[in-house]
Amino acid sequence: MAELAAEVRRLSDRAALADLADQYLRSLDEGTFDEARARSIFADDVTLSFPPGDHDGHVGVAEFTHGFMHHWDRTQHNVSHYLIELDGDRAAIGWNVFAVHIHHGSPPPPAHSENFYLGGRFDGTAVRTYLGWRLQRLVLRIVWSAGQGVPSIVAVMGERETSNQPATQIRLARKARSTKRQKIGSTWRFPPLNGNGR
């Protein structure tokens, strides 16, 4: 019975962790990601490192997320190949992502539109809290991209790739050129929007 209970717990934990990833990306696509949803997905001391910027702590995560999601009219994230390694009340988690980003002003289906596509991988850690599992660290690494992206974000992604510098060094270098802006607990790697929303 003890072995059966342990296996049930293991499978339950894996399902709960995969569900966190699904909830997060589904809320981005549905436009329902807010501070309440952030608290249900992320730990209080979460750290996020994405191509557009970094964020520390669950406070302000929704604003940080809106800072890059508002570039798009809508998105669709598809995930696969979950890797979950449990260690008591902690876990390592990762998954592949294929995402489609639709520009503002694009015609609705079935009309053709020029979209931005990317493929990459999320990797991070999670911790069990009294409210259940929460993501504590999440890093997005872009493997490939195609189509017209947001120029300011694409420029930073290219800079990171060619310089092979840690994100912190790039942020310091760009600060002198006034291409860094701060939010609550957030560090942006791209400049403010221009009149064209790019």
Neighbour-count burial of 131, counting CB atoms closer than 10 A to its CB (0-12 exposed, 13-18 middle, 19+ buried): exposed
pLDDT score recorded for residue 20: 95
pLDDT score recorded for residue 193: 43
Q: Does residue 108 lie within any of the structural domains?
A: yes
pLDDT score recorded for residue 158: 60
Q: Does residue 151 lie within any of the structural domains?
A: no
pLDDT score recorded for residue 76: 97
Under DSSP, the state recorded for 166 is -
Q: Based on the structure, what is the number of domains in the chain?
A: 1
Averaged in consecutive runs of 10 residues, what is the pLDDT profile of the chain (198 residues)?
87 96 96 96 96 92 93 95 96 98 92 92 97 97 89 63 48 39 52 44
Pair 120, 142: CB distance under 8 Å: yes
Q: Does residue 119 lie within any of the structural domains?
A: yes
pLDDT score recorded for residue 44: 96
Q: Does residue 193 lie within any of the structural domains?
A: no
pLDDT score recorded for residue 3: 87
Q: Does residue 27 lie within any of the structural domains?
A: yes
pLDDT score recorded for residue 164: 52
CATH of the domain at 86: 3.10.450.50
Q: Judging by DSSP bridges, how do beta strands 182-183 and 53-56 pair with one another?
A: unpaired
pLDDT score recorded for residue 196: 46
Q: Judging by DSSP bridges, how do beta strands 132-147 and 182-183 pair with one another?
A: unpaired
Report the distance separating Cα 135 and Cα 92, nearest Å: 9
pTM of the model: 0.79
Query: Containing domain of residue 26, as a range?
Result: 2-146
Helices 151-163 and 167-175: crossing angle, nearest 10°? 120
Q: Does residue 139 lie within any of the structural domains?
A: yes
Q: Does residue 158 lie within any of the structural domains?
A: no
Beta bridge partners of residue 133, listed in sequence order: 128
Report the distance separating Cα 117 and Cα 144, nearest Å: 8
Q: Does residue 103 lie within any of the structural domains?
A: yes
